[in-house]
Every structure is written in C-alpha cells, then in structure tokens.
Amino acid sequence: MSAAIELHVNGRALRVALGTSVAAALYLAGDGTSRTALDGKRRAPFCGMGVCQECRVSINGQRRLACQTVCADGMQVETQP
C-alpha cells in the first residue's frame, strides 16, 4: 500500500490508501455499519453519493457523511451507537 495514511475508527488504528473514503474505511475496519436507526437496526452506507444520509458518523467530533469524506491522517472516526 503506497502513500498510506493512518486514521482511527472507533479508537482502532487503520491504514488506508490515499483517496480512500471514510465509507470504505468503515468496511475495512469492521462490519461497515455507520449508525443505529430508531428501530434499533444498524445502518450502513447505501447510496454512496451524499443523498441517503445513512452513513452519518462522527468525524473529528462533527457529524459527517462517511461517503462524502476522504480519509486524512490522524482522523478520528466514530460510528454512532
């Protein structure tokens, strides 16, 4: 993996290739899910283009869309419980 960058997903360090989206990092780091819906079911990135809002996670303390955010060195990503 060239030009790898390192971020944290739910506290675990993860190395990904430059240009990787946070949505892809969720899958690399675990089961790919992003949040829990009101009915208690886990949700995951779906549309991949910033419309469906299923992939909202916390990135450096701000609620963001995983599919619209590119991984950056030192980034802290937290999926929502």
Enumerate binding residues for other proteins (CB under 8 A): 38, 53, 56, 62-65
CB-wise, 14 or 54, nearer to other proteins?
A: 54
Least distance in angstroms from the C-beta of 53 to other proteins: 4
* The token pair that represents 76 in the structure block: 């802290």
DSSP state of 70: B
Concatenating the DSSP letter of every residue in 17-62 gives: -TT-BHHHHHHHHSS---EE-TTS-EE---SSSSSS-TTEEEETTE
Give me the least distance between CB of 58 and other proteins, in Å please.
10
For the bound state, the minimum distance from the C-beta of residue 8 to other proteins, rounded and expressed in Å, comes to: 20
